[in-house]
Structure 1
Amino acid sequence: MKNIKIALTLLFVVSLSSCDDFLSETPDNRTQIDTADKISELLVNAYPSGGTYMEFAETMTDNVGDGQLAETLPKNEQNYNWEMNNETNIDTQANYWDACYRAIAHANKALQAINELGNPSSLNPQKGEALLARAYSHFMLVSFWSQRYNPSTADKDLGIPYVTEPEEVLIKKYTRNTVKEVFDFIQKDLEEGLKLVGNNYSEPKFHFTKEAANAFASRFYLIKGDWDKVLEVSEGLGSKPVGKLRNYLTFTALDPNIQFIEYAKADEPANLLVVSAYSIYARASSRNRFYLAGDRSQGILGTGTNIFGKAWLYKTYSYNSSMTVFSAKFKEYFKYTNLTASIGEPYTGTVLLSYDEFYLNRIEALVMKNRINEANAELEYFFGTRTTGYNATTDKLTEAKVVDKYPVVADEYTPFYSMTPVQTSYVKAIAETRRRDFIHEGIRWFDIKRFNIVVVHETFSKPTNTLEKDDNRRALQIPLSASSNGVEKNPR
């Protein structure tokens, strides 16, 4: 497989593999992308699979503590202290920035090709996928490199560059759109893509299908506080979606070595969008000092956190006498490029979107629309699928139990919108549920930002580091490769 180069200002010049042969020449000499098959092949790379956000996103959350290993990787300590990584290699902040803009470049090239072919209706599925992929990568970028979405300040807050055209020059200068502009662009691409995307793929779980697109839309609208839209895109889930949520009773009964493999598999019904990311995140539990420490684990996954007073079905494991524990979610596959020299590239299967998150998003929207009875019934069902020995007759969720288990704490959850005390308790219950379900996957960071939750990180024999509300460090610093080329830095 030959290496080629794409001119991308935000990335400078990025090396890509043979799947990108269409982009391997200067514009006048490139192979023409003039068939549906060629466009579909291009879109395989329209997802940020060149890296993963999960390591840096998770390490910034309150899920992580000090495991007191003798050493750790510099990026692990930097992420734990909400600092910019000074490396750009695998699983770093800059690496994921590059991966997103590289994916956007492929989506834009596909859209250009479709436009040059006259936008025929026969290419609507490809156009829908390209628009959704472009929206997704920009959404992830603005979620990490900008402050949280707040409609009262979004027209002034620094967003990220929203790129809608393929590169035609070697170096092109970009300026940052506002957060409002970025969210408006995302919504436009998302809503147009939802109308066009289909399900006709040979490997649908590696592409935006209609359900994956709706799941992404529910995450986007949840952050915007558009509850009606969340309910609209999740209507197809129905009540208590049997067979769609991850079956933890079956999953955790498997040998841990099998769990690693099964979690991100394309044939797992709960998974809606998966990628094989160029990543070594599967090694984090044995290499990172700042990870899911055992005491922190009990506060998240322990029996005392179950509202029915029973044990959760979630399981954690540890290596030898390590003070950190892990859930069996990530399996690394090493692809040898030179078997004789033992040289190759590591890939890790990761779940980007799932029915589990989709369903929790819907329950939260029900709460915010004051449909508490419905939300209570759905949340009880979700808890039941995660509880050891759950009995639907005797293990009942009530509003009184939720309010007692998740009491309102002044200034703890402060989204840009208001919540009643009952809504606050239910939202806390859902946020803590999401926290448990997606441990290691970085999803907790989205809730920490939108609810403006304070995070305290303790380090053995060092002062405590606290991420206060509205702290500038909630927006990652722009990578050096981009800021050196004129992209404005975030304030510090």
Structure 2
Amino acid sequence: MLRDWKALGSLALDHDIVSNAFVNASSNANLLLHTAVSEAGLIYGGGYSGGTLACRFNHCSYTSENEDMEATNIFGGSTEFYLRPASYSASNYNKVVWFKLPYMMEYVDIVAQTGYFRTVYPAFTSEELLLNRAEAYVMLKEYDKAAADLTTWMQNMTKSTKVLTPQVVSDFYNKAKYCYSDGAGIESALKKHLNPAFEIDDEGSIQENMLQCVLGFRRLETIHFGLRWFDVKRYGIEIPRRQMNAQGRPVLKTDVLTKDDPRRAIQIPLRVRDAGLEANPR
């Protein structure tokens, strides 16, 4: 039921080829596919596609190298992925992406070449289900079952033959640094401080380390899909807004989205507020 990452990695590293294979309806991993009016296929495509703003606010190399795709992980580095991330850098853009979302055009006027940008989005996948089950096992403290699911996901997406156990996971994550633990509170690292509204064991515990692994794998699995936001909300992960220098490194913290920040709540629609319902605070 899992995606054939080895087959995807054998394809030419071309956005159209890989992304269309990723959302192929014949893949058992794609349990539910949606089409959407979206520029995601351009933004998370190659080179300068998507324009200045899309490149400026994309997934940059600093984040990739220190937090997810190109960071040293429990399975090794980015060379372990069957499908390597694509990296683009120039004077006016810097981004590292996986070719997951295709770019399609719905033409309204074929002569004038006008219409709507579209993409196909895998809204429900076997891999996400597997990681959701791993998280449930961690919360139940059935760590061996969680480790088995994490191993299955890891060995399918990467070339790693390592077998994860609760102890192997704890040994690795206890040595990893937390994000924003430097004096300025801006440096990235592999794991984040977790502040959920529900109870979990202390930092450094087997449960917390297993959750770090689950959330790290979920971040890789769902990157470019917008699902990271639900993990950020669920676990009260605090996110600073950082000013980056010309070398692409953070130099200044300008704001922080704290765990109880009212901006975490999605605003009530305007027409509902117009009908008299009080707006969420900002």
User: TM-score, structure 1 length as denominator?
Assistant: 0.47
State the 1:460 CA deviation: 3.2
The match for 2:268 is 478
The match for 2:36 is 277
State the 1:474 CA deviation: 0.8
Please give the alpha-carbon distance, in whole angstroms, between the structure 1 residues aligned to 2:57 and 2:168.
Answer: 34
State the 1:260 CA deviation: 1.6
Is 2:218 the partner of 1:449? no
The match for 1:399 is 166
Is 2:134 the partner of 1:367? no
Is 2:111 the partner of 1:315? no
Q: Does structure 1 conserve the Cα–Cα contact (< 8 Å) formed by 2:147 and 2:164?
A: yes
Q: Does structure 1 conserve the Cα–Cα contact (< 8 Å) formed by 2:241 and 2:253?
A: no
Deviations 1:99-145 (A, max 9, x none): xxxxxxxxxxxxxxxxxxxxxxxxxxxxxxxxxxxxxxxxxxxxxxx
Please give the alpha-carbon distance, in whole angstroms, between the structure 2 residues aligned to 1:443 and 1:314.
Answer: 20
> Which SS does the other structure have where 2:244 is aligned?
coil
The match for 1:148 is none
State the 1:342 CA deviation: 2.4
Is 2:218 the partner of 1:434? yes
The match for 1:328 is 99
Q: Does structure 2 conserve the Cα–Cα contact (< 8 Å) formed by 1:303 and 1:311?
A: no
Residue of structure 1 aligned with 2:208, choices 424, 432, 435 = 424
The match for 1:237 is none
Residue of structure 2 aligned with 1:298, choices 40, 49, 65 = 65
Change (3 A) 1:464 1:405: farther
> Which SS does the other structure have where 1:348 is aligned?
strand
State the 1:303 CA deviation: 5.4
Change (3 A) 1:252 1:465: farther
The match for 2:116 is 345
Deviates more, 1:412-421 or 1:349-358: 412-421
The match for 1:464 is 254
Change (3 A) 1:429 1:284: same
Change (3 A) 1:459 1:481: farther
Residue of structure 1 aligned with 2:6, choices 249, 252, 256 = 249
Alignment of 1:40-439 (within 5 A): 244-255=1-12, 256=14, 257-285=16-44, 286=49, 287=51, 288=54, 289-299=56-66, 300-302=68-70, 304-307=72-75, 311-319=80-88, 321=90, 322-388=93-159, 390-391=160-161, 395-407=162-174, 412-420=193-201, 421-439=205-223
- Give the residue type in structure 2 aligned to 1:245: L
The match for 2:188 is none
Change (3 A) 1:265 1:488: farther
Deviations 1:287-310 (A, max 9, x none): 311111012112202251133567
Q: Hey, which of these two has a bigger chunk of helix by percent?
A: 1
- Give the residue type in structure 1 aligned to 2:73: T
The percent identity for this pair of structures is: 29
Deviates more, 1:478-487 or 1:322-331: 478-487
State the 1:491 CA deviation: 0.6
State the 1:283 CA deviation: 1.9
Please give the alpha-carbon distance, in whole angstroms, between the structure 1 residues aligned to 2:148 and 2:140.
Answer: 15
The match for 2:186 is none
| Unaligned runs of at least 5 residues, structure 1 | 1-243
Please give the alpha-carbon distance, in whole angstroms, between the structure 1 residues aligned to 2:76 and 2:42.
Answer: 34
Q: Does structure 2 conserve the Cα–Cα contact (< 8 Å) formed by 1:307 and 1:405?
A: no
> Which SS does the other structure have where 2:86 is aligned?
coil
Please give the alpha-carbon distance, in whole angstroms, between the structure 2 residues aligned to 1:318 and 1:367.
Answer: 34
> Aligned-residue CA RMSD in angstroms?
2.4
Please give the alpha-carbon distance, in whole angstroms, between the structure 1 residues aligned to 2:135 and 2:96.
Answer: 29
| Unaligned runs of at least 5 residues, structure 2 | 182-191, 246-251
> Which SS does the other structure have where 2:107 is aligned?
strand
- Give the residue type in structure 2 aligned to 1:305: N
Name which one, 1 or 2, has greater alpha-carbon Rg. Answer: 1
Q: Hey, which of these two has a bigger chunk of strand by percent?
A: 2
- Give the residue type in structure 1 aligned to 2:72: G
> Which SS does the other structure have where 1:323 is aligned?
strand
Larger RCO of the pair (alpha carbons < 8 Å, separation 6+): 1
Change (3 A) 1:343 1:301: closer
State the 1:328 CA deviation: 0.4
Please give the alpha-carbon distance, in whole angstroms, between the structure 2 residues aligned to 1:277 and 1:306.
Answer: 35
Alignment of 1:4-43 (within 5 A): none
